Amino acid sequence: MTIVAEFQIDHRQILAPDGHLVAPLPPFAADVDAVVAMYEAMTRVRVFDAKAVNLQRTGQLGTYPSSLGHEATHVGVGAAMRPEDVLAPVYREYGTQLWRGVTMTEILTYWGGDERGSDFAGPRHDFPWCVPIATQTLHAAGAAMAFKIRREPRCALAYIGDGGTSEGAFYEALNLAGARSLPVVFVIVNNGWAISVPVAAQTASQTLAQKAVAAGIPGIQVDGNDVFAVRDVVSRALETARRGGGPCVIETLTYRLSDHTTADDASRYRSDAEVEQAWSLEPLLRVRAYLRRAGAWNDAREQSLLQACSRQVDVAVSDYLQLAKPSTDAMFEHLFAELPAHLHAQRTTARKYAAKPSGH
């Protein structure tokens, strides 16, 4: 008997939950202003997220997937990417999108049921939110193939949740990326739960990062609540891919502190003790503690930041609520160069019902 293949999965952490360093700082973190900028972005998305949930609860927004607890992973990824790179998100990566230029109003517009929210003012080349599970990984692989054919020094990055790694599309994307050595990075956000299904019920793998091995792709696991580690690992993976070194799979270990969406009740399948433990590890605590220890943060700056974030969110909400509703014709636009007859009939019917007074 001979061994024909071996592998190992490394785990990366820089900032411990109490804010102490457990590994040397990456170069970018030596600039305290860069760390402050990431902390401010993490705080901003948390304030926005809380407001969005409140809007849904009061009937002013549709079903909404919260990003609470994912801030370090999302902001770390956003800070690692270049503007010309392409993002293929799932549906809750607001921290990455806000960092890249998507506006809060656009996010609210989309979750208010208006597709105009997908018409980003910022990164025009980024993909819109993807509610079907795992298809975005194929989109990213396809974009990466185009970059390689055109010899463009750009990368694609796709997000996927822990449950999404059980989908066939995910494996297909990995296989294509590995076989063609594409400039793409797959970020698995392992938050412990695929709605109500725990990771242990999804797979027998010790890690999700090792799912890369079968595709001939390197895989690494990172503390997803550590924004330093996330940015460092993603930056390295993107630069390797950009130089022609091929793809990478990065598993970020974090926790979904909220319900899966506002249509979910996580208390039905998670214990209070589990959630309480997760709150002690949440990402904002450790960055704040690190900055305080470095003398770069205090209570006054914290309050000023929270007030500034609240004002920014309020402006975005006001813009969203004042946005004129689209006509029912919008459902039929951008589908065909010439609208088929059966859709002409449907459009006419939609116009008729839209013209009726509310309640009729």
Active centre residues (catalytic) = 256, 260, 269
CA distance linking residue 36 with residue 42, whole number of Å: 10
The gap between the terminal CA atoms of the chain, to the nearest Å, is 76
CA angle 269, 272, 275 (to 5 degrees): 90
CA distance linking residue 340 with residue 325, whole number of Å: 25
CA distance linking residue 225 with residue 43, whole number of Å: 14
CA-to-CA dists, residue 80 to 7, 234, 330, angstroms: 26, 6, 36
User: Which tokens go with 89?
Assistant: 């998100």
- The residues facing 223 across adjacent strands are 253
Handedness of CA 192, 235, 91, 319 (dihedral sign): positive
Strands 156-161 and 184-190, bridge-based pairing? parallel
Answer for the pair 86, 155: CB distance below 8 angstroms, yes or no. Answer: yes
3 state DSSP class of 160: strand
CA distance linking residue 107 with residue 56, whole number of Å: 13
Phi first, then psi, for residue 223 (nearest 5°) are: -70, 105
Answer for the pair 190, 227: CB distance below 8 angstroms, yes or no. Answer: no
- The residues facing 21 across adjacent strands are 15
Helix axis angle, 135-150 to 168-180, nearest 10°: 20
Answer for the pair 188, 157: CB distance below 8 angstroms, yes or no. Answer: no
CA angle 191, 122, 106 (to 5 degrees): 65
Task: Tell me the chain's radius of gyration from C-alpha atoms.
Answer: 21
> Tokens 């392992």 identify what position?
190
